[in-house]
Each structure stands twice: as C-alpha cells, then as structure tokens.
Amino acid sequence: MSTGLVAGKLALVTGAGSGLGRAACQVLSREGATVIAADKNYASAVETIKKHTALASGSNGAEHSAVELDVSDSGAVQKLVQTTLQQYKSPPTIVINSAGITRDNWLLKMSEEDYSVVQNVNLKGTFLVMQAFAKAMTEASLPGSIVNISSIVGKYGNIGQTNYAGSKAGVVAMSQSAAKELGKFNIRVNAILPGFIDTPIIQTVPEKVLQGMLKMVPLGRLGKPSEVAELIAFLSSDKSSFITGASIDITGGF
C-alpha cells in the first residue's frame, strides 16, 4: 500500500509533453497517482508516460495514459471527459492546467492573431478543461483539486507580453471565482504563479533580457521544473485541504 501524497488518485495534466506539465506527471506519479498526460503533441505526451513517470501505474494499479488534446477545442475537451470515464470508470479528481503558449511582441506591433491564440490556449483552454472536469467531479459526487498555472507576469506585467500577461492575470481571477463556486462541492481551485523556470517556453526570451531578469531574483537562478511540480503535488493532495482560491508565487523571490 503506497503512502504517497496522492496515492490512488487519478490526475489529468494538460501540456504534459513538456516542461512543468511533464514534471508534474513525474512527481504526481512518484506520489502514487495514476496520470493522464494530455498534450497537443501526442508523441511528447507518450514520451512523458514512457520515460518520465515514476512507475508503470498508479498505486492502485490503474495504468497511466497519454492523450492528444488541444485545450482550446471544446469538442475535444468534452470527448476526453467521456473517454476518461470509459477507461477509468470515474473522473480525475486532480486536474493540472499547464498547457500554455507565448507569442511575444511589442504592444505596438502585436497582431490580433497573436493576441487571440494566446487567450484561446492560456485562458479559454484553462476555462474549458476546468469547467468540463469540475462538472464530471460534481456528477460523480467526488471532491477534487484543480491547479491552474498562471505566471508572475500576470501580476507584474512584462515587456513584449501584453497578450500573455493578460491571459495569466485572467487565470488568477478565474481560479478565484471558480474556487468560490466549487467550494460547496469540496473541489478546491488554486493558481500558481511561477517566475522564470528552466523549460522550453523561456528559450524564446533573449539571453540579455533573461540575465537582466535573473538580477532581480534573490535566489539568483532559474527555477527547476521539479521545484514547481512539488508545489503542484502539495496543492493536489489532502495536505492542502484548507487551501482554495489562493494564488501562490514560486519565483525564487522575484
């Protein structure tokens, strides 16, 4: 019998093929959860399950799985609810919204398309997944925990990221509102606000800008995906049973 933080629970992680989503799969599986790794890029989700989960299955013996999912496609999200219910006979009670993109540019140069695609994935995608899976949890009368990945940029803004910062501020407000509505079902909703974490998403940030940013980080380094994943696992677990509607910075002090 596993004594992991989330032993026996079923967890859905979006954006699971890379970075923070992949690290969340690693830590949640280490802590005994069965993981459904969902990503727009199916091959990378499969790689997460094959190479980056602690065990072949959750502590209750249910096998991890990989699925292709574009979080901005409401039909695909609805379909995933159905296939998950068919496969596991119950909905995930841990949902981690990590799918996210950037399309950086100066405000004065940003195209409407780059604005819209970022809102569609980061904000609408988080809404669609949260709505569909919270509904499934309420219908199954199960308590749960939803963790939405915002960004510290959603709090303080950042040059070149008006679209992204707006979407991430929206994720915080949306999480707080959902927490107020879902508390009566014992479904908790929290947002986390990472600073600069060493994943592929920051590879588009120019080195000079990154070094300037790091000067403002008291711990003087980038965060590791695993450090964020430990917070995700805590918020997913019953150890955080009285935390909901919170927005937690994880920035090295930035």
Catalytic residues, by residue number, are 164
Distance CA 158, CA 192 (A): 17
Task: Point out which residues bind ligand NAP (CB under 6 A).
Answer: 14-15, 17-21, 39-41, 44, 69-72, 98-101, 121, 125, 149, 151, 194, 196-197, 199-202
Min CB(241)–ligand NAP separation in Å: 24
Structure tokens at 8: 């026996």
Min CB(21)–ligand NAP separation in Å: 6
Nearer to ligand NAP, 62 or 250 (CB): 250
Nearer to ligand NAP, 59 or 125 (CB): 125
Min CB(239)–ligand NAP separation in Å: 22
Min CB(152)–ligand NAP separation in Å: 6
Nearer to ligand NAP, 99 or 233 (CB): 99
